[in-house]
Structure 1
Amino acid sequence: MEKRITIGSENPTKIAAVKNIYHDFEVRSLQVPSGVSAQPFSDEETQLGAMNRAKACAASSADGIGIGLEGGVMYVGDTLFLCNWGALATEDGKLYTASGARIALPKEIEDGLQTAGELSVVMDEYTKKENVRSQEGAIGIFTNNLVSRENMFTHVVQLLKGQYDFANFNY
């Protein structure tokens, strides 16, 4: 039986992040609901979105792993940060979570979120580009492409795989 991973998104950066780490797995994408707002505004909400996606993917296949990756924003004091979470769920109900890079967002992005409601809309306007979320992402823009959205989520998937492998390693 072929090993299978289902990623709860059709976003190419998220799919690529999973494929970067799980080379020997069949990776399929499935659009599943996050169960949270379109723009998560806290670590907790962003993590919950990733967990909901991972669980839905794991439930969709009796022979594989589900992965959910969710981007959001959260405040530290009065500074808005980009945040991201991932979750890995197994068909037998085990769940692993991890978070990755954070970066402070410029004030004009925070102001734009108050009216636009979703970071992807604000970033497209800010950069005068289309579909930034499926390319370099906000992290790529604000790190001058030193860290892309795919890089950021690849790191989260590494953390998830490491936890899963550790839990299933027989010493």
Structure 2
Amino acid sequence: MIRVAVGSKNPAKLRAVEAAFRRMGIAAEVVGVTVPSGVSSQPFSDNETLTGAINRAKAAISNGYDFAIGLEGGVVETPPYGLFLCNWGAIIDQIGEIGVSGGHRLQLPEEIAKELRKGHELGTVIDRWANGANIHKNEGTIGILTRNQIRREQVFEDVVICAYAKFIK
């Protein structure tokens, strides 16, 4: 059994990592650890979101783990179509090898995008917009906007599998 640290205690991210390894047929003990992302609380580009994922993975790796995973959600401006949801993941092993992957893109409604451009965080905005609480720990913005046809956990599960592909021999 491998030991995997996830640079977050967000339940949706932890469930995604557990599901990804289960889907790959790899027995894994998954442990969430609190680490800084080193980026703004609302990443506003692919580069910043990917950097946050890499930073989380690097901060979470230690001698007790075979791999560490960082998962980060953000937004990216895509003229002329507006603001899109983006997701990135990074996996690092004990020798410092890194695999990365990106997830789905989803065009955000302009009323949500306007709030994000004012400096508000997506988690707060989507909770207010959908009249919910802690959506980022559950279905995520993608779940709300797709009526749960695609959930945050699913997106991150795919991201983990794609990032892990680098380590498959």
TM-score band, normalised by the shorter chain? over 0.9
Q: CA deviation at 1:144?
A: 1.2
Aligned to 1:25: 28
Q: Are positions 1:70 and 2:69 aligned together?
A: no
SS at match of 1:70: strand
Structure 1 unaligned residues grouped into runs of 5+: none
**2: distance between equivalents of 1:41 and 1:116?**
10
TM value normalised by structure 1: 0.92
Aligned to 2:156: 153
Q: Are positions 1:83 and 2:86 aligned together?
A: yes
Alignment of 1:1-171 (within 5 A): 2-23=1-22, 24-58=27-61, 60-78=62-80, 79-115=82-118, 117-165=120-168, 169=169
**1: distance between equivalents of 2:155 and 2:120?**
22
Q: Which amino acid aligns with 1:11?
A: N
Q: CA deviation at 1:113?
A: 1.4
Q: Check conservation: 2:99, 2:165, Cα contact below 8 A.
A: no
After superposing on structure 2, the runs of 4+ consecutive aligned residues of structure 1 that deviate more than 6 Å are none
Q: CA deviation at 1:3?
A: 1.5
Q: Check conservation: 1:8, 1:69, Cα contact below 8 A.
A: yes
**2: distance between equivalents of 1:151 and 1:61?**
29
Task: Map Cα deviations across residues 120-168 of structure 1 (whole Å, 9 max, x no partner).
Answer: 0000100111000011100001111100000110110110122221xxx
**2: distance between equivalents of 1:5 and 1:71?**
20
Task: State the identity %.
Answer: 43
**2: distance between equivalents of 1:21 and 1:127?**
28
**1: distance between equivalents of 2:109 and 2:11?**
26
Q: CA deviation at 1:111?
A: 1.1
**2: distance between equivalents of 1:153 and 1:63?**
20
**1: distance between equivalents of 2:2 and 2:15?**
17
Change (3 A) 1:93 1:5: same
Q: CA deviation at 1:61?
A: 2.9
Q: Check conservation: 1:116, 1:122, Cα contact below 8 A.
A: no
Provide the alpha-carbon RMSD of the alignment.
1.1
Q: Which amino acid aligns with 1:145?
A: N
